[in-house]
A = this chain, B = another copy of it.
């Protein structure tokens, strides 16, 4: 197809055979393929396919194709409420699994909820509220079968810190609560919006490494915060950085610590950690660490009630409101100064909650091999938080620890969340008064035991081994959270992640290729030391799309390779470089700046009497090279399908020249 002109592209099909025979007669002894120009698409089609690949990469309307209208309607309803789809296949065997799993996660979530709501500076019942309504909504709308919904430690801490920056929870409890609902509302709106507009890929910008660091830092911060309850300190700093907290702890060492509290806390923490150890040792006993917290609560409450240790300074929960979630529709700020603040906090908390839930969903989906639609999942999570914000809940999401327990307890569907929700309902209706004598120290111990799992030092080690830059992001987020605050840590994590992307697009790799002995394969000579350079020819591979952000770098880098090579050649009295072959396989796209850079490169090479030759430009690139008439400038017969073809063309020419 060598001589195929632009105008001839339309009747590609018919002329193909002629073109082939033409090119084969032109070529050297063997049959040389020329670079194909893809059939030209019209503008609308091109635009449509780009939009589809960007926003609808998962082809969400796939199942709607070729269906009747009524069937489409049913499918549409099912898309929003997957429960309608899977509920029909639901049976008793599945229910057995879900029941056991639901009871297990309920026993784990009740003490955790009470503790986590403290991290968010909210009264204990709000944690329980958030484990009642959101799981029900999720069960109807979500598509993950293993996720356990409810308040989580990191989001609670983040929300608490951000809210506290705006309103003091102790002096203005009502406004604080209202702002919390406002933030929850907008967190839900943010999540649902991202899902509806299919912008789910935005959360991919927080890298795995940054999340590992952020979670680890948050875990340590949360654990440190628990020292207040654990040591029975009354005056405690509001800041979350390690320096302030440690200062607070040690300055109160002489008069602020309560030994009874420490004894209770320490002994039950020991018990919890031992239960965890057993669970890890033998997977059969996964239920031991799952029910240990509830056992601790029951035992310690009973103990305090009997001994009346609360009169000796052991802080107790005192009061949890009885009854289920009251409506909070009217509490949300829809006007005024606090609307903006709630909106901002909601976006941040919503994004972090989303990141956690999607990560969990994906992990378990790949373990059980089912597909999870990220965007649809976001809509479900968003709807759940919007409804939650109207029923006195704060931001709920998927919990790492409880989801793992859910999975190991053999959950089959989201019904396990419904079971958990029912247990929480019963708790709220009947049992809350019994929590009166639960010591705060036990809640602290439960939280410490829970968040320890978030410190994934093995992942950090692996990151160090694999990618040093990732490790910097990980440590940056970690140290930012520990030494400053969750927001700063988050900011560092996002900034480093972005810096990495920018670095990647500005400084793409390039490589010098050599021929692998007794083959027609050309590879990076750094990776394959046995590969040999072809005399008189320099082969450079550019490892990235060439865009405005890197075009001048790429041009200058190629010229520098050439200059280095020419120096070497001179020193060793070898054949002068006469051809520069640019292997374009990895160059998936080029823009106007890139074409300009290539034009400049071509002109500079002309002055140095070096011929520019291109090998294997992709469909998009070859199209643009033709449109910009750069292909005509360098000569269409200087564009080849493979490096081997290009070499076969250059080598004989070399011999003829001096």
Q: A: which residues have CB within 8 A of B?
A: 12, 16, 31, 33, 36-39, 43, 46-47, 50, 53-54, 57-59, 201, 204-210, 362, 366-367, 369, 374, 459, 462-463, 465-470, 497, 500-509, 511, 516, 518-521, 523-524, 526-530, 543-545, 547-553, 556-557, 560, 585-586, 588-589, 591-593, 595-596, 600, 603-604, 607-608, 616, 618-620, 622, 624, 627-628, 641-642
Contact = CB atoms under 8 A, between A and B. Distances in A.
Contacts of A550: 204
Given A57-B556, A204-B552, A501-B502, A588 B589 contact: no
Given A58-B560, A624-B466, A585 B588 contact: no
Contacts of A518: 31
How many protomers of this protein does the assembly include? 2
B505 A548 contact: no
Nearest to A47: B468
A204 B592 CA distance: 13
Q: Which 4 A-B pairs have the closest CB atoms?
A: A207-B548, A586-B586, A527-B619, A543-B588
B628 A466 contact: yes
Best-surrounded residue of A210, A497, A550, A618 (most CB of chain B within 10 A) = A618
B521 A642 contact: yes
6 contacts: A33-B528, A50-B469, A207-B593, A369-B607, A466-B624, A467-B624
A483 B548 CA distance: 26
A371 to B, nearest CB: 8
Contacts of A595: 466
B524 A54 contact: no
Contacts of A607: 369
Given A468-B43, A592-B470, A641-B516, A604 B366 contact: yes
A465 B547 contact: no
A619 B586 contact: no
A59 B204 contact: no
A513 to B, nearest CB: 11
Contacts of A557: 57
Contacts of A588: 508-509, 543-544, 586
A360 to B, nearest CB: 13
Contacts of A39: 529
Contacts of A362: 552, 600
A593 B211 CA distance: 11
Contacts of A57: 507, 553, 556-557, 560
A201 B506 contact: yes
Given A50-B469, A520-B520, 7 more contacts: A33-B528, A36-B529, A39-B529, A59-B560, A459-B592, A466-B591, A523-B616
A50 B50 CA distance: 34
A600 B370 CA distance: 12
Given A556-B58, A618-B524, A642-B521, A466 B592 contact: yes
Nearest to A531: B36
A544 B544 CA distance: 7
Given A204-B548, A530-B16, A607-B369, A465 B524 contact: no
Contacts of A642: 521
Nearest to A46: B468
A469 B592 CA distance: 11
Contacts of A50: 469
A463 B592 contact: yes
A548 B603 contact: no
Contact of A618 (B543, B549, B593, B603): B543
Best-surrounded residue of A54, A57, A588, A616 (most CB of chain B within 10 A) = A588
A634 B473 CA distance: 28
B504 A505 contact: yes
Contacts of A46: 468
A506 B200 CA distance: 11
A548 B497 contact: yes
A475 to B, nearest CB: 13
Contact of A585 (B210, B586, B593): B586
Nearest to A605: B369
Nearest to A465: B627
A202 to B, nearest CB: 9
B592 A547 contact: no
A516 B34 CA distance: 11
Best-surrounded residue of A50, A204, A527, A585 (most CB of chain B within 10 A) = A527
A592 B208 contact: yes
Contacts of A543: 545, 586, 588, 618
